[in-house]
């Protein structure tokens, strides 16, 4: 660790690109503070992973974790869609916000698709490319080679490459670097704690910046994919984008600190603190969900004979906390007048909240549940 060399700046005509050192090599940890953080992170992840075994119907709640991750990861890149807006249908979103909304929806699709694909395809460049293609499909980055590594130079910050804050390696070296990254991810000869492995992989991926657009979102998404593939988490219930977004300046500063000062230790510490804090917050969120479930069940009993149909609606709301009369009809099989009465009852007992203020076409949020994720 003390002898770590991140790479070097290579002159490319009028600019210098950063060419990182490869990472598929032996590593040695000597920092006791880092080992202490690693131990804490492992413990918190173990606690969080228990919830995937003991919480009934945990898959219902994962969709909201994914939704939050999509809004926060996209927010780092300047997208302004919040959780409530992300839950709406496209036509219900203000026209000036639809581009942002579409990018968040693509992130949700990309993450869900990648998690499903993990069952048949390992963590790899191929998986990363497929995920990137979904992420950029039909949105603002659709002309920036979705699903393909870049064939030209890119840069971060600055109006042009001449005043860029960071210039990644030249495009002709990307395949070589990504092959090295993939070998490191699956190496059985090189022992390195998995949490430090994915921390290093994330740093290296962001440094390689293999795509023309979407590198940040794909790089953050890769963290969860890696933890699931390696069996550290049984379910995709940990996402770091909220931590990175709240500490955005530190996030970028620590990545640059590795490149400029060879300080990989500080990046590892920042990453592990993110794991610890995020795991604790996720555990708290699950505890609050269980408390809310009991509270809502008690309120549903007040509906008497209508509680069974109301429960059908509420079960849907845990997966997708927005409902209108048409959806409620599909879930319950009730007539329109009966559904309207039932929704009024659910609003009366503060289980749902009407958000449009309209007399027709009303839309209801399960606000208490949404607030847990905010």
The DSSP bridge pattern shows strands 363-365 and 322-324 to be: antiparallel
- Can you give the pLDDT at residue 96? 92
Return the CATH superfamily for domain 18-285.
Fido-like domain (1.10.3290.10)
Express each pLDDT in 307-354 by its tens digit: 999 999 999 999 999 999 999 999 999 999 999 999 999 999 999 999
pLDDT above 90 covers a percentage of the chain that reads 86
Question: Residue 218 above 90 pLDDT?
Answer: yes
CA distance 114 to 130: 8
- What per-residue confidence (pLDDT) applies to 295? 97
pLDDT tens for each residue of 192-201 = 999 999 999 9
Question: Is the separation of the CB atoms in 201 and 181 below 8 Å?
Answer: yes
The better pLDDT of the pair 128, 55 is held by: 128
Greater model confidence, 30 or 125:
125
Provide the whole-model pTM. Answer: 0.93
Asked if 213 and 46 touch (Cβ cutoff 8 Å), the reply is no
Asked if residue 54 has pLDDT above 90, the reply is: no
Give the pLDDT of residue 1: 62
Task: State the pLDDT confidence band at 142, using cuts at 50, 70 and 90.
Answer: confident
**Long-range pairs of 298-303 with CB within 8 A, sequence gap ≥ 24:** 299/349, 299/350, 299/351, 300/349, 300/351, 302/349, 303/345, 303/349
CATH among 3.40.640.10, 1.20.1250.20, 1.20.140.10, 1.10.10.10 for 302-372:
1.10.10.10
CA distance 1 to 22: 14
Largest CA distance in the chain: 77
Q: In this predicted structure, what is the pLDDT of residue 372?
A: 95
What dihedral angle (degrees, nearest 10) is formed by the CA atoms of 88, 74, 374, 46? 120
| The predicted structure's pLDDT at residue 209 | 98
- CB burial class (10 A; 0-12, 13-18, 19+) of residue 61? buried
Report the chain's mean pLDDT, rounded to a whole number: 94
Q: What contacts 135, CB < 8 A, 6 or more positions away?
A: 106, 107, 110, 141, 146, 214, 217, 218
The SS3 call for residue 11 is: strand
Length of the chain: 374
CA torsion sign for 199, 10, 15, 174 is negative
What is the pLDDT, as a whole number, of residue 2? 63
| Pair 294, 301: CB distance under 8 Å | no
Residue 254 · residue 267 · CB < 8 Å: yes
| Domain boundaries, given as residue ranges, for the chain | 18-285, 302-372
Alpha helices in 23-139 (DSSP H): 32-54, 58-76, 83-87, 98-117, 125-136
Q: Is the pLDDT of residue 140 over 90?
A: no
Q: Which whole number is the average pLDDT over 25-36? A: 92
Contact 74, 100 (CB under 8 A): yes
Dihedral sign computed on CA atoms, order 63, 68, 74, 79: positive
pLDDT tens profile 106-127 = 999 999 999 999 999 999 999 9
Mean pLDDT for the stretch of residues 255-283: 97
């Amino acid at each position: 660790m003390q002898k770590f060399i991140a790479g070097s700046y290579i002159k490319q005509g009028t600019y210098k690109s950063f060419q990182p050192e490869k990472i598929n090599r032996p590593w040695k940890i000597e920092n006791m503070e880092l080992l202490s953080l690693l131990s804490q992170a492992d413990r918190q992840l173990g606690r969080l992973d228990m919830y995937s075994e003991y919480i009934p119907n945990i898959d219902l709640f994962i969709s909201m974790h994914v939704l939050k991750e999509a809004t926060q990861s996209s927010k780092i890149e300047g997208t302004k869609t919040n959780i409530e807006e992300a839950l709406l249908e496209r036509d219900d979103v203000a026209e000036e916000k639809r581009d942002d909304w579409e990018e968040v929806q693509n992130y949700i699709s990309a993450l869900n698709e990648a998690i499903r694909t993990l069952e048949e395809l390992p963590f790899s460049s191929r998986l990363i490319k497929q995920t990137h293609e979904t992420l950029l499909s039909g949105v603002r980055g659709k002309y920036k080679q979705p699903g393909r590594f870049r064939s030209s130079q890119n840069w971060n910050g600055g109006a042009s490459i001449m005043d860029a804050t960071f210039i990644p390696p030249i495009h002709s070296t990307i395949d070589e670097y990504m092959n090295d990254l993939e070998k490191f991810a699956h190496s059985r000869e090189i022992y390195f704690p998995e949490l430090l492995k994915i921390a290093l992989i994330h740093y290296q991926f962001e440094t390689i910046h293999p795509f023309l657009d979407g590198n940040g979102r794909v790089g953050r998404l890769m963290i969860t994919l890696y933890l699931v593939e390696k069996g550290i988490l049984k379910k995709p219930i940990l996402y770091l984008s909220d931590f990175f977004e709240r500490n955005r300046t530190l996030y970028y500063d620590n990545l640059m600190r590795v490149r400029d000062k060879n300080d990989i230790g500080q990046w590892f510490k920042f990453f592990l603190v993110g794991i610890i804090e995020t795991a604790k917050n996720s555990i708290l969120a699950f505890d609050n969900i269980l408390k809310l479930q009991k509270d809502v069940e008690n309120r549903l009993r007040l509906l008497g004979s209508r509680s069974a149909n109301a429960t059908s609606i509420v079960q849907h709301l845990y997966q997708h906390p927005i409902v209108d009369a048409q959806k409620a009809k599909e879930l319950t099989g009730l007539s329109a007048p009966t559904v309207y009465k039932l929704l009024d009852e659910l609003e009366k007992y503060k289980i749902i909240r009407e958000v449009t203020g309209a007399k027709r076409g009303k839309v209801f949020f399960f606000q208490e549940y949404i607030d847990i994720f905010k």
